[in-house]
Amino acid sequence: MGGHIEVDGIGRDYRDGQAKLTVLDGVDLEIHPNEIVAITGPSGSGKSTLLALLAGLDRPSRGRVTIDGVTITELDEDALSRFRGRHIGFIFQSFQLIDTLTAVENVRVPAELLGDFERAGEAAALLERVGLGHRLTHFPSQLSGGEMQRVAIARASIVQPSVLLADEPTGNLDSRAGERVLELLFERRDTATVVVVTHDASIAERADREIRLADGRIADVIERRAS
Ligand code: ADP
Ligand code: MG
């Protein structure tokens, strides 16, 4: 079951010497279970900042993020990192695989961190499902960009998180590899709510809803499909 995400009045400021830089301000948002949402907007509009706040990888300066009734912005570091490990999968533009581990070892990591060795044992099957059954023992340096991102999707999925977040997941890929990655990511909606940051209009068009940011605020919401 996909996660229900509620964002209430979040803002994020950075200190720039004496000055205060407000990169997100007054963002309210509700994302429904198993919805696919694209977050778009110009470079610097706050997309990555918002995604990191949804993931609990960053803390807002004000406001709250609640996932499945748990207000993650109120959790202490330990509780937050436990929540993240179980409920949130994150996919980075730059893959962020561990260079010294093989593909299958990379995919196992999140399950091993939870001590869930049954799930860890499903790593090879997950890689097969993303078309990498023949790359199990390859290291990241032996994989193409598209293959690395498919490993990253398998890794983000292994604990069956209820929320999958991806920041420009196709940004480093050619269009064919990007297409495959997107397909695999969107397939995860069976079990997860999917939020993808992108500046690619063709990706945004395929989401259920596009949220456009400008200057740290929601400038536009485009409903593509009833959800
Ligand atoms: P986007 O992903 O839409 O391109 P970001 O969320 O990465 O935008 O950044 C929004 C704004 O916040 C940018 O102006 C960026 O320079 C600023 N910013 C991001 N991270 C930091 C930081 N750690 N310190 C200061 N400013 C930051
Ligand atoms: Mg960004």
pTM exceeding 0.85: yes
- Kindly report the length of the chain: 227
- Which residue's CA is the nearest one to ligand 1's atom 16? 44
The set of residues, in sequence order, having a beta carbon less than 8 Å from that of 26 and lying 6+ positions away, is 9, 10, 11, 217
Distance 190 CA to ligand 1 centre (A): 32
Q: Whose CA is nearest to atom 1 of ligand 1?
A: 44
Instruction: Please provide the average confidence, as pLDDT, over all residues in the chain.
Output: 96
pLDDT in tens, 82-105: 999 999 999 999 999 999 999 999
**Positions of E strands within 135-183:** 163-167
Name residue 13's amino acid: D
Residue 110: the pLDDT is 97
Judged by its nearest atom, the ligand closest to the C-alpha of residue 44 is 1
Q: What is the arithmetic mean of pLDDT over 31-39?
A: 98
Query: Using 50, 70 and 90 to split pLDDT, how confident is the model at 183?
Result: very high
Q: Is 7 exposed, middle or buried (0-12, 13-18, 19+ CB in 10 A)?
A: buried
Distance 49 CA to ligand 1 centre (A): 6
Q: Which helix (H) or strand (E) holds 209?
A: strand 209-214
49, 61, 200: which to mutate for ligand 1, most atoms within 8 A of CB? Answer: 49
Q: How confident is the model at residue 16 (pLDDT cuts 50, 70, 90)?
A: confident
Q: How far apart are CA 38 and CA 194, in angstroms?
A: 8
Q: What is the pLDDT of residue 64?
A: 98
SS (H, E, C) 30-52: EECCCCEEEEECCCCCCHHHHHH
42 has pLDDT over 60? yes
- pLDDT confidence of residue 60: 98
Q: Alpha-carbon distance 186 to 141, whole Å?
A: 26
Atom 19 of ligand 1 has which residue's CA nearest to it? Answer: 49
Tell me: pLDDT of 77 over 80: yes
The CB of 23 under 6 Å from ligand 1? The reply is: yes
pLDDT of residue 227: 53
In the reported structure, the alpha carbon of residue 13 is separated from the centroid of ligand 1 by a whole-number distance in angstroms of 10
